[in-house]
Amino acid sequence: MESISNPPLHEAYKILLDKIQNRKGEDGFEQELLVVEECELPVIDVRRLEESDEVLREECKSEIAKASQEWGFFQVVKHGISNDVFSRLRTEQEMMFQQPFDKKTKEHKFFNFSTGSYRWGTPTATCIKQLSWSEAFHIPLTDILSSSGSNTFDSTVEQFASQVSSLAQTLADILADKMGHKSTYFQENCSPSTCYVRLNRYPPCPLASEVHGLMPHTDSDFLTILHQDQVTGLQIVKDGKWIAVKPNPDALIIIIGDLFQVWSNGVYKSVEHRVVTNPKLERFSMAYFFCPCNDTVIESCTEPSVYKKFSFGEYRQGVQDDVQKLGYKIGLPKFLIHKGTT
């Protein structure tokens, strides 16, 4: 019997299986999962940014830009965020996910979060490989800030968010500077009130060869700052292959999002990634999404532009519409400027 805290993922799987049992073309998933190598992402000691030696500072900035171009993913260490913050947030996170499923679905009533903050599975999935074996609280920071730290969870998330927000601003400014733009764009358009925190849980999955923990996707923000536990699961695309990211307990993972790929005119890469399931172990992670407000115009900082300009709100709505209709995100390809068009 399943715990009353777990979402009905087995049920969702069975419904999708019934839909496709008389159709072919659902195979190939196991084979896809096998094309994996394990590696450690570039590791960058960002403490060097505080050095008085300009050579060391510039060396660090160059490493950040290079990893953003070549990988779209990198790790930062010596980032100044204490393990105590992550430990307390992990404790709060586990307590939230241990609540009964029915209570979690009423997040606006019991946790004072916006309706729709609690998510599980993939409601729009049309086939098994689109089903995500996971649950999450995707929380607008405005929900936390408006509570004024009224409980332990809110105060812990607020502390985490304030520290990673500062790191995100620093990294964004460095990446802009390396593009030759000493701009206040990110300070003006990305503030804690426009960003999100996402707490993820990936339950053990007996169907690990068939189901993703989180289906392949790119992130629809400027930057994501991710902290993960010691259970492997995160994989990224590099040189046409899936590679497994080796967990590093001392590091935060930095992910370049779609918006930075557009802003940099394709110089910085928003890379497809996914989470695979584990048959025996549950996995936890927490992410900070560095986003602008909805009316912020996203356009390339150099010409000729590879992408049409758009507002962040327009992009988010497009992603939601695609997921609703197709079960997956199309994203940036819809905004490419093709030769001979305007």
Catalytic machinery residues: 283
* CA distance linking residue 93 with residue 152, whole number of Å: 11
- How far is it, in rounded angstroms, from Cα 33 to Cα 232? 14
Residue with tokens 């996910």: 97
Distances (CA, A) of 28 to 9, 86, 219: 21, 38, 25
Length of the chain: 342
User: Cis before residue 8, ω within 30 degrees of 0?
Assistant: no
The pair of structure tokens assigned to 80 is 């100044």
Contact 94, 285 (CB under 8 A): no
Please choose, from the candidates 273, 331, 288, the residue with its C-alpha nearest in 3D space to the C-alpha of residue 71. Answer: 273
Burial letters 257-294, b for 16+ CB under 10 A, else e = bbbbbbbbbbbbbbbbbbbbbbeeebbbbbbbbbbbee
